Structure 1
Amino acid sequence: MIKDYKVSIAIPIALLILSILLIGFKGIPKSIDITGGTEITIKVNENMDITPLKESLNGIAEVKKLESADGYYIVIRCKNEDVDIVKQKIKEFFHVDSLDKLNYSEKTIGATLSSKFFEEGFKAVGFAFMFMAIVVYLYFRNPVPSGAIILSALSDIIMALGAMSLLGIELSSATIAALLMVIGYSVDSDILLTTRVLKRLTKSFDETVKEAMKTGLTMTLTTITAMLILLIVVKLFIPVADILANIATVLILALIADIINTWLLNAGILKYYITEYRAKKI
C-alpha cells in the first residue's frame, strides 16, 4: 500500500512547510475577539445596496451583508476609537437620527481583554498539546511511534492555520476552541493506526494499515460530513451565527489535513520504523 515511505513522508512535510510559509508571510487575519473592537449588526427586511455605506466607511470599518431565511443582516466591524464616526455614517445611510430606530445589536471588546484572551487561548492549546504528547509517550514508551503521532497532530494544527491564512478565515475565540478540538480529533486515528501496526501478529504491514484505514477513514469522514451539514445549515439559515460556521470550517480543514498526516506521514514513519529501523536492531 505504501510502496515508498520516503515519498509518503515527503508529501505532508512539503504541505507543512508551505503552511508555515503562509502563516509567516501572509499571516492570519484576527477577529475583534483578538484585536478588540466593536461589531454592529443590523437586521433589514429587504436586499438593499450597501455600496454607499461601504464607500463612506472605507478604511474605517469592514462592512458585509449576510442573507438568511428570515431576512438580511448588515455587519459592521471597526476599532473602538472609530465607533462614533461609524455610528454617524450608519445613521446617515439609513436616514435616522438614532440607531434605536433600527433593529440592531452591538458587541464591544476592549483591547486589554482581547489580548488577554488571545494569550490565555493559546496557552490552553499549548498545554493541551503538551499533555496529549505526554500521554501518547507514556502509552507507547517508544520515541519513534510516539514522535510520529505527535508530529502528525502538530502538522494538523499548523496546516489548519495555514489554510486559515490562505482562505482569510479569522483567528477568533471560536477558531481557537476549534483548534483545541482538533488535538483530540487528530490523535484518535493516529493511535488507532500505531496500535494496530505495533501489535500486528501475522498480517503484513500493508494489510494492517489497510484494515486500520477502513476504520480510521470512516471515523474521520463521518465527522467531516457532520461538520459540512452544520456549515451548510448555518450559511443558509443562520448566517449571523458565524461562531458555529468558523468552528465547522476549521474542523473540516484540520480533519482533511489529518487524513494526509495520518495515512501518509504517520504511516510512512511507521513503515520506516518497522521495515528498517527496528529490523536493524534485531
Structure 2
Amino acid sequence: MAYFDVPEIEYTRYSNRQLAAVPLAVLAVALLVLSGSFLVYGTPVPLGMDFAGGTELTVQTTTPEGEIAASFDQTPESVTGTGTENQYIVRFSSTDSAALTDQATDSDTGLEPDGDAEIVQSVSSTSASFGAGSQQTAMLGLVVAFVGMSAIAFLLFRTFVPSIAIVISAFSDLVIPLAFMRLVDIPLSLGTVAGLLMLIGYSVDSDILLNNHVLRRSGDFYESTYRAMRTGVTMTVTSMAAMLVMAVSAYVFGIGLLASIGIILFVGLAADLMNTYMLNLCLLRWYKFEGVRR
C-alpha cells in the first residue's frame, strides 16, 4: 500500500489543552448553529421531501429555468436541472400533486412544451405524516448506530478514557457536517442520512486505529502515533479525494443527491482528521502519561 508523505508532527510542542482547543471550539460553533436553527426554524437542519413531505415534478420544457416558478400558484422550494437538456426537477412543499400537474400543463399559464415531449415526465409525492414517520425511523437508525459504535469501543478497550475519546470524536464528526448542512442549506433526506451513517463508520475506523497503535503495540507513544497517522491519514485523505471527485462530477451532471452526499462526507472526513489527531490524541496522551496510575 502506498503512503502519502505524512509529516511527523512535533506534538511535544503543544499541551493537551492547546490540542483540544481547536476541535472543541469547532464543535461548540457547530452545536451553536444547530441550536440556533432549531430555535428559529424548528429543526436543526433543513428537511428534505422524504421527511417534511411534498411533491416533486420532473418537467420537460423550453421555459427558462428562472421563469418556471411563475407557472405555479405556489412558489417552488427549488428548481434544479437534471443534466438533460430542458429537463428540470421542481420541488414543492404542497402534496396536491394533481393541482400542480394541472398548473404545469395549463395551455395559457403553464410551461412551454419541448417539442412533442410531455411536459410532466414524472410525479413523486410524500405526505407529511409519512415523512414524519420516515424522519423518526432515520433518527432512530442514527441513534442505534451511534450507541452500537460506543458499545463496541468500550468492549474493545474496556477503559473509560480511550473509549470515551472515540465516542467524543465520533460525535463531533457527526455534528460538524450537520451544522455544515444547515449553513449551505443541504436538506436532510434518506440519502444524506446514509452518508452520515457512513461517517460513523469512518470515524470509528480511524479512532480505533490510533488507539490500537498507541495502547496495544510496542514502541514510544509518539512513534506509535506516527505509525497510526501514516496509515490513517493516507486512508482518510484518499477517501476525501474520492468524495470530492464524486461531488463535483455529480454536480456537473445534475445528480443533486450524490453531490450532497459527496460534500457531506468530504466535510465529515476533514473533521475526522482534526478530531482524531488532535482531540482523541490529546486524551490518549493524558491517559498514557497522567491518567494511568502505576
TM score, norm. by length of structure 1? 0.89
Asked if residue 234 in structure 1 is aligned to residue 263 in structure 2, the reply is no
CA distance in 2, matches of 1:73, 1:251: 28
Aligned partners of 1:67, 1:37: CA distance in 2, in Å? 19
Q: 1:17 maps to what in 2?
A: 28
Structure 2: 5+ residue stretches without partners:
1-9, 38-43
- Distance across 1 between alignment mates of 2:131 and 2:82: 28
More helix by proportion, 1 or 2? 1
Partner of 2:65: 50
What runs of 5+ residues in structure 1 fail to find an aligned partner? none
TM-score scaled to structure 2, two decimals? Answer: 0.85
Mean CA deviation greater in 178-187 or 193-202: 193-202
Q: Provide the C-alpha distance between the structure 2 equivalents of 1:145 and 1:87, rounded to a whole number of angstroms.
A: 57
Equivalent in the alignment of 1:225? 241
2:144 corresponds to which residue?
Answer: 127
C-alpha distance in 2 between matches for 1:14 and 1:150: 17
Question: Cα–Cα, structure 1 residues 197 and 169, in superposed 2: closer, same or farther, change >3 Å?
Answer: same
Match of 1:75 in 2: 89
1:274 maps to which of 280, 284, 288 = 288
User: How does 1:19-168 map onto structure 2 within 5 Å?
Assistant: 19-26=30-37, 27-44=44-61, 48-55=63-70, 57=72, 60-66=75-81, 68=83, 70-91=84-105, 92-95=109-112, 101-102=118-119, 104-168=121-185
- The residue that corresponds to 2:41 in the other structure is none
Report the count of equivalent residues: 272
Shift of 1:212: 1.0
8 Å CA contact retained: 2:174, 2:196: yes
For the 8 Å contact 1:65–1:72, the answer to whether it is kept is no
- For 1:264 and 1:126, the matched residues in 2 are separated by 25
Give the aligned CA root-mean-square deviation in angstroms: 2.1
How many angstroms does 1:249 deviate by?
A: 1.9
On the 8 A contact 1:61/1:86 being kept in 2, the answer is: no
Q: Supply the distance in 1 between the matched residues of 2:73 and 2:169 (Cα, whole angstroms).
A: 42
* Equivalent pair of 1:148/1:266 in contact (CA under 8 Å): yes
Offset at residue 200 of structure 1 (A): 3.9
CA drift at 1:169: 0.8
